[in-house]
């Protein structure tokens, strides 16, 4: 990573699960190695034993510490109390950079950072949507309300950071052309994650890994696997890895379909451990931004079948053979049956690894982010909305 002036960087987000948490952990580790001081503020009511272990692993890199406060998913009066507590914590830490991730983290950072500006602080205020509010439909009152809030908060934003061009286009469609400067910085992986993962001797046919909620498509995975069995003319086996409030409902559906003995549920675990459990990874999401799980699967050498949503085509390529429409059980089942009939079909279609590694490394991601932080503090981006020129560099 290129040398930068040491900075005090504070990340704020709501839920310490999934891609946002992974993104922040990678930035924290890389920036700490580069000599910056990093801290995290996030929700105290979500996450479990697995996330606790992840916090333990990142603590040596958090010179500014870990602060956990109750932060609800939906807007409510409790946000006022949480914001005031967060303001107190941020004041004590005296950061140079406040980086908010997701809708709630982004709102806190920009409001608190603006309050600090009144006190003559020169803290930089950055916001990465990571999907967040963008998942809502512009045809609903709730979506329109969230988009209006996002538009208002732009005036207190020093820079927007998009993790995919899809995310930028969605922001432009639903909220409007950004009035604040922006950059596109893709997610990246650490060096060891580019080592191939070998299949276990007992590896099953297909893996679902992710949050157990309908947005991520575990229900579609179950129904498509059942249909793929009919198309393939034989029983197929799967494994589902992840946590979430709807997990019991998916297990009940498997039992009703008589698939409970062929599809096993597991709690959340490291992705590479899960990859070894199956020959093909299936991503049946209805909505995504720039999912780490697809990056991780490609880097590990795993064949992938995925819905064509979010920034996934930016990872796999727009014409990738294993892309299917979201929510289309029949199309997903056909792809799964094809993978069973022709094991080389997906393997031969996967991205070329050298170029993939150059585009999606954690070091590249963190270096670009540190440069952006310094640019914001130097004032190079002020009053220059639509910062597209250097966003891809």
pLDDT along the chain (393 residues), means of 10: 78 88 94 97 86 93 92 71 81 94 92 88 92 86 93 96 94 96 95 96 97 95 98 98 95 98 95 98 92 95 96 93 98 98 96 93 95 91 48 39
What the block records as the tokens of 297 is 């699967």
- Burial profile 63-98: b = 16 or more Cβ within 10 angstroms, e = fewer: ebeebebebeeeeeeebeebbeebbebbeebebbbb
What the block records as the tokens of 185 is 């910085």
For the chain, the residue count is: 393
Q: What is the residue whose two structure tokens read 């064949």?
A: 303
Which domains are delineated in the chain? 8-188+361-378 (3.40.50.2000), 192-355 (3.40.50.2000)
**Where are the strands (E) in 70-187, listed by range?**
97-101, 124-128, 159-162, 182-184
- How far apart CA 46 and CA 29 sit, in angstroms, is 22
Give the closest residue to 7 by CA, choosing from 40, 35, 26.
Answer: 35
Q: Kindly report the number of other CB atoms within 10 A of residue 389's CB atom.
A: 9
Give the closest residue to 73 by CA, choosing from 164, 142, 161, 144.
Answer: 142
Assign 222 to helix, strand or coil: helix
Question: What interhelical angle do 329-341 and 218-232 show, nearest 10?
Answer: 50
The sign of the dihedral angle between the CA atoms of 297, 131, 167, 11 is negative
What the block records as the tokens of 94 is 């005296």
What the block records as the tokens of 198 is 């070998």
Q: Tell me, what's the pLDDT at 147?
A: 95
Q: Kindly report the number of other CB atoms within 10 A of residue 25's CB atom.
A: 21
Those residues whose C-beta lies under 8 Å from the C-beta of residue 155, and which sit 6 or more positions away, are: 179, 180
Q: Tell me, what's the pLDDT at 216?
A: 95
What the block records as the tokens of 355 is 């170029």
C-alpha to C-alpha distances, 112 to 101, 151, 263, 379, nearest whole angstrom: 14, 17, 47, 19
What is residue 220's DSSP assignment? H
Helix (H) or strand (E) holding 232: helix 218-232
Q: Tell me, what's the pLDDT at 77?
A: 63
- How far apart CA 226 and CA 257 sit, in angstroms, is 8
What the block records as the tokens of 271 is 């992705």
- How far apart CA 273 and CA 266 sit, in angstroms, is 11
- Are 274 and 241 in contact by the 8 Å Cβ rule? The answer is yes
Those residues whose C-beta lies under 8 Å from the C-beta of residue 265, and which sit 6 or more positions away, are: 239, 240, 241, 247, 250, 251, 254
Q: What is the residue whose two structure tokens read 């799964």?
A: 336
How many Cα atoms are found within 13 Å in the side-chain-facing hemisphere of 385? 10
């Amino acid at each position: 990573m290129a040398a930068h002036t040491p900075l005090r960087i504070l990340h704020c987000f709501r839920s310490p699960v999934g891609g946002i948490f992974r993104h922040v952990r990678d930035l924290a580790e890389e920036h700490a190695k580069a000599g910056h001081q990093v801290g995290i503020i996030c929700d105290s009511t979500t996450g479990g034993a697995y996330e606790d272990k992840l916090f333990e692993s990142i603590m040596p890199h958090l010179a500014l510490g870990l602060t956990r406060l109750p932060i609800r998913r939906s807007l409510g009066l409790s946000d006022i109390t949480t914001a005031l507590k967060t303001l107190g914590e941020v004041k004590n830490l005296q950061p140079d950079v406040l980086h908010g991730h997701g809708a709630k983290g982004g709102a806190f950072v920009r409001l608190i950072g603006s309050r600090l500006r009144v006190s003559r602080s020169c803290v930089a205020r950055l916001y990465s949507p990571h999907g967040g509010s963008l998942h809502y439909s512009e045809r609903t009152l709730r979506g329109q309300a969230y988009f209006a809030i996002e538009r208002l908060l732009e005036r207190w934003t020093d820079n927007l950071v998009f993790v995919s061009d899809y995310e930028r286009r969605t922001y432009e469609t639903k909220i409007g052309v950004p009035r604040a400067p922006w950059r596109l910085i893709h997610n990246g992986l650490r060096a060891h994650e580019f080592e191939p993962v070998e299949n276990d001797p007992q590896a099953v046919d297909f893996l679902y890994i992710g949050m157990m909620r309908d947005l991520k498509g575990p229900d579609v995975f179950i129904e498509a696997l059942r249909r793929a069995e009919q198309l393939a003319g034989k029983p197929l086996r799967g494994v589902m890895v992840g946590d979430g409030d709807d997990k019991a409902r998916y297990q009940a559906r498997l039992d009703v379909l008589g698939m409970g003995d062929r599809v096993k549920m597991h709690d959340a675990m490291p992705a590479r451990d899960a990859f070894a459990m199956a020959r093909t990874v299936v991503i049946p999401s209805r909505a995504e931004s720039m999912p780490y799980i697809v990056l991780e699967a490609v880097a590990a050498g795993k064949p992938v079948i995925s819905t064509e949503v979010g920034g996934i085509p930016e990872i796999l390529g727009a014409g990738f053979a294993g892309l299917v429409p979201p929510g289309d059980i029949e199309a997903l089942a056909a792809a799964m049956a094809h993978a069973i009939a022709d094991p080389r079909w997906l393997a031969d279609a996967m991205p070329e690894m050298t170029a993939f590694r150059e585009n999606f490394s954690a070091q590249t991601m963190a270096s670009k982010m540190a440069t952006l932080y310094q640019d914001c503090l130097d004032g190079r981006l002020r009053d220059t909305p639509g910062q597209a020129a250097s966003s891809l560099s």
